[in-house]
Amino acid sequence: MKIAKIIFQIFKVVVVILSIGYIFLKLYNESQNGVLFKPYHGLCLNSFFYLMAVVLLVPVNWIIESIKFIQLLKPIQIIKLEKSFRAVLAGIAVSIFTPKRVGDFGGRVFALQTKNRIHGVFATLLGSYAQLLATILIGTIFFPLYWNVNPSLNSIIPDKGVIFLLIIGLIILSLIVYFNIHRVVIYATNLKFLQKHKVFIQFLQNYSKTDLAKVLVLAFLRYAVFSFQMFLLLRMFGVDINYGTAMVGISQVYLYMTIIPTVALGELGVRGSLGVWVLGVYSVASSGIIAASVLLWILNLAIPAILGVYFLWRFKF
C-alpha cells in the first residue's frame, strides 16, 4: 500500500513538472518569435469590462455553491446562507492543499454542530459528486464535437463508434448511481468494513430524487458560471473565439482536469498546459490562453482561499 501511495505521489509530481515545463516551453517559443506579449497589447476598455464581469461572477459562483451546500444539509442541519458561504470558503482554504480538492469537507464541517460534522463530510462528498457529474456530462456530450476539430485524437482513439457508446454508457451509469444513492447506501452498509460506520451514511437515504435533482441543477448552474468566466477572460486576452466554440473547448479542459490527479496548487500548471493543448486547435494565442487560465485560478481559488483562512480561524473548534 505504501509503495502504491509513493508511486501515486511521484506521478502527480511528474504531471505538475511536465505541465509547468510545457507552459514555459510555449512561452519561450513565443518569446523567440516576438509574440509573447502580443495579446496584452490589445487590452483596451472592453478588456476592463470583461475583467469586471469576471470579478462580479466570482461571488456568484461561490454563492451558488453555498446554496447547494444548504440544500445538502437539509436532512442534517438548517444553516443560513451567510454561514454556508463562510463554510464554503473555509473548505477552499483547506482543500487547496489536497488532491483534487477532496479536503473541502475539512473546512466546511466546522460550520456545523459537533454532532453533525461526520454527516456533513458525506453531504459534502455527495455535493462534490454532483459537481463532478455535471463536469463529466457536459464534457462527454461535447467530446464528439471537439473530436471533429482535433485530428490528433484520431490517432489516439481511432474508433469513434466505440467511444460514442462508452460515452452514452458513462452518462447513463453516472445518472443511475446518483439518483439511486439510497440503493448505493444499502449496498455500502452491507460491506464489512463499513458496518461499524453505517450510522454516518444512512442519512443519505433521506434525499429524494427531487432533492438530488435540485443539487444537480445547482451544479450545472455553477458550471455555467465558471465556464463563462473562462470565456470572458479568453476574449479579454485576445483569444478570438465565439461562445459556442469556446464552450466545447472549455468543457474538454474541465473534463480532462477531472482525470489528471493534482493538488490545487499544482492545478495551475495543469490548467494552463491543458488549455493550450485543447484550445490551441481554435487559436494560436497560447500566451492569452495561459493568462486566462492563471487569472481564473487566482480569482476563483486563490483569493477565496485567503478569505477562507480567515473564516476557518473564526470557527469554533
Summarize pLDDT for 125-168 with one digit per residue, the tens: 899 999 999 998 999 889 888 887 776 666 666 566 677 788 78
Q: What's the whole-model pTM score?
A: 0.81
d(CA 87, CA 97): 17
d(CA 64, CA 68): 6
d(CA 136, CA 217): 14
Cell of 245: 466554440
As beta bridge partners, residue 99 has 263
Q: Position of cell 459537533?
A: 114
d(CA 311, CA 205): 31
As beta bridge partners, residue 263 has 99
Does the pLDDT of residue 39 top 60, yes or no? no
Does the pLDDT of residue 37 top 70, yes or no? no
Give me the pLDDT at residue 228, please.
97
Does the pLDDT of residue 106 top 60, yes or no? yes
Does the pLDDT of residue 19 top 50, yes or no? no
d(CA 181, CA 190): 14
The answer to whether the beta carbons of residues 241 and 227 sit under 8 Å apart is no
Distance of CA 259 to the CA centre of its chain: 11
d(CA 162, CA 147): 14
Alpha helices in the chain (DSSP H): 2-32, 38-41, 45-73, 81-95, 105-108, 117-149, 152-156, 160-179, 181-189, 209-236, 243-259, 264-279, 286-297, 303-314
d(CA 236, CA 231): 9
For residue 74, the SS3 value is coil
Cα end-to-end distance, the chain, whole Å: 32
Please, which pLDDT band fits residue 316 given cuts at 50, 70 and 90?
low
Does the pLDDT of residue 35 top 70, yes or no? no
The answer to whether the beta carbons of residues 124 and 90 sit under 8 Å apart is no
Cell of 79: 444553516
How is the chain split into domains, by residue range? 2-314
